[in-house]
């Protein structure tokens, strides 16, 4: 059975960042992408995705790091079962996953909390293609950046908006398949920097796409 270039890692410390994953897994190969999934508030969901340059490096990462500690927690490291390249290859070649090799399901929104069909009171469901509507008061520090490239990553947001001022956090919002939903969140330390970012970048073009930059009213 073929394994793709991506691995899925869970049971991460909530303090673990994408940079921590990259620094850890670069020991077995070239990391071309690393991300820790976060919820609407920016808090880590405790799992992430790492993509390597070759499938062999991904295999080496699974063999070396599954069960190893990172930031005081034993990581669960498996192949990414949602790797689309693997699915297509297996489907075209009639390959089925052998018994006992299926990796654990990624956590679903409905597990340990309200389902998407029955959201908890004061917690509206997400809208596809854009940030979810949330309730609360704006800190004035966080902006929503829509229209980014599907390939954009956190480091690109940091580099772009870092010229405005010091950034507290930056993230590209990902779907459950580990792929970008086309928008990101950037949080500054000052109200002035957040407003300056909106004034400078709203309506500008980046990689052929027009950015929509606005204040996150609920963060």
pLDDT in tens, 43-96: 888 888 999 999 999 999 999 999 999 999 999 998 886 644 444 444 554 544
Question: Among residues 68, 92, 116, which one ends one of the domains?
Answer: 92
The answer as to whether 102 is a domain residue is no
Does the structure show a pLDDT above 50 at 114? no
Asked if 157 and 184 touch (Cβ cutoff 8 Å), the reply is yes
Q: Does any domain span residue 115? A: no
* Dist. CA 130–CA 140, nearest whole Å: 19
pLDDT bracket for residue 102 (50, 70, 90): very low
The reply to whether 81 and 12 lie within a common domain is yes
Helix residue ranges per DSSP H, 81-169: 84-92, 154-161
Over the chain, what is the mean pLDDT?
77
Please tell me the predicted confidence (pLDDT) of residue 31.
93
Is a pLDDT exceeding 50 seen at residue 98?
Answer: no
Q: Cα(45)–Cα(14) distance, rounded to whole angstroms?
A: 7
Q: Which of 92, 127, 159 is the last residue before a domain boundary?
A: 92
Count of structural domains, the chain: 2
**Residue 87 maps to a domain:** yes
Instruction: Please enumerate in sequence order all residues whose Cβ is within 8 A of that of 9, keeping only pairs 6 or more positions apart, or say none.
Output: 21, 47, 48, 49, 50, 65, 75, 76, 77, 78
Looking at the domain assignment, is residue 185 inside a domain? Answer: yes
Highest mean pLDDT among 67-76, 122-131, 201-210: 67-76
Residue that finishes a domain, picked among 58, 74, 92: 92
* pTM given for the model: 0.40
**Do 85 and 155 fall into the same domain?**
no
Domain contains 32: yes
Same domain, 88 and 11: yes
The answer to whether position 158 is within a domain reads yes
Residue among 217, 157, 156 nearest 185 (CA): 157
pLDDT at 75: 92
47: in domain: yes
User: Are 10 and 68 found together in one domain?
Assistant: yes
177 within some domain:
yes
Q: Which domain holds residue 152?
A: 142-215
Cα–Cα distances (Å) from 28 to 3, 72, 109, in that order, read: 16, 21, 32
Contact yes or no for 167/154 (Cβ under 8 A): no
Q: Nearest to residue 4, comparing CAs of 70, 53, 76?
A: 53
**What is the CATH classification number for the domain harbouring 25?**
3.30.70.330
Residues 10 and 78 in one domain: yes
Asked if 150 and 182 touch (Cβ cutoff 8 Å), the reply is yes
Average pLDDT over residues 172-187: 87
Q: Which stretches does DSSP call E strand in the chain? A: 6-10, 31-38, 44-52, 69-70, 73-74, 76-79, 142-146, 167-174, 180-188, 205-206, 209-210, 212-215
């Amino acid at each position: 059975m073929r394994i793709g270039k991506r691995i899925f890692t869970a049971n991460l410390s909530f303090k673990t960042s994408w940079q921590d994953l990259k620094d850890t897994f670069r020991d077995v190969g070239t990391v071309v992408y690393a991300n820790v999934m976060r919820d609407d508030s920016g808090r880590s969901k405790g799992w992430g995705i790492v993509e390597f340059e070759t499938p062999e490096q991904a295999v080496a990462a699974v063999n070396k790091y599954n069960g190893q500690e990172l930031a005081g927690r034993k990581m669960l490291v498996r192949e990414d079962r949602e790797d689309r390249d693997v699915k297509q290859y297996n489907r075209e070649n009639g390959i089925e996953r052998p018994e006992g090799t299926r990796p654990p399901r990624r956590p679903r929104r409905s597990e340990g909390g309200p389902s998407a069909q029955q959201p908890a009171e004061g917690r509206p469901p997400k809208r596809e293609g854009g940030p979810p509507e949330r309730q609360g008061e704006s800190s004035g520090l966080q902006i929503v950046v829509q229209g980014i490239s599907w390939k954009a990553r956190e480091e690109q947001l940091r580099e772009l908006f870092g010229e405005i001022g010091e950034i507290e956090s930056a993230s590209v919002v990902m779907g459950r398949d580990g792929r970008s939903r086309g928008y990101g969140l950037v949080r500054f330390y000052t109200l002035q920097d957040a407003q300056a970012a909106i004034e400078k970048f709203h309506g500008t073009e980046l990689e052929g796409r027009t950015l929509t930059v606005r204040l996150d009213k609920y963060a």
